[in-house]
Amino acid sequence: MKRLTLLRHAKSGWDDPVKRDFDRPLNGRGEKAATLMGQYALDSGMAFDLLVASPAVRVVETLDHFLDSYGKPIETVWDRRIYLASAAALFDVLHAVPESADNLLMAGHNPGLEDLILELVPESDGDALRAEVETKFPTASLATIALDVAHWKDVASGCGRLVAFTRPRDLDAALGPEAY
């Protein structure tokens, strides 16, 4: 069984004049949320064999804060295919993950990450976690999916079960939508 944890980049700044969307940095709220989520991952005992991430500035900065508070090194692969990728493109990325990695952390963007979760995890009555993701996969959120596959190349629609979903506001109410 493989395990996939998805991390959406933290809140970025729209008021910072950058030439390209790719170069948008985090804002202060995003930095705080990314740090909090890294500490949460550490406190929850999450372990990762590999990190595959978009090289967009907001993802890189999210991971800088996340990993500083997580405190454990993770082998990292920067993959431009993840930048604003569709769920289909993210499946291609997953299919190329080395078999030596059983616990993968992928960091990227919406709507691709949310769509990937909804593709991997089939609808079922009473699945409150999936219903929450279907409502919204907010910035800096973590979702962990247990995949019923032995090999990354076999990851397909419906092969997963959402085992955890945590938003920054679950840990600090000040990071919720009412804080805008």
**Binding site, residues?**
58
Contact present, 92 and 67 (Cβ < 8 Å): no
Residues tagged in the binding site annotation for substrate: 58
d(CA 13, CA 57): 11
Angle at CA 167, nearest 5°, toward 163 and 171? Answer: 110
The 3-state secondary structure of the chain reads: CEEEEEEECCCECCCCCCCCHHHCCECHHHHHHHHHHHHHHHHCCCCCCEEEECCCHHHHHHHHHHHHHHCCCCCEEECHHHCCCCHHHHHHHHHCCCCCCCEEEEEECCCHHHHHHHHHCCCCCCCHHHHHHHHCCCCCCEEEEEECCCCHHHCCCCCEEEEEEECHHHHCHHHCHHHC
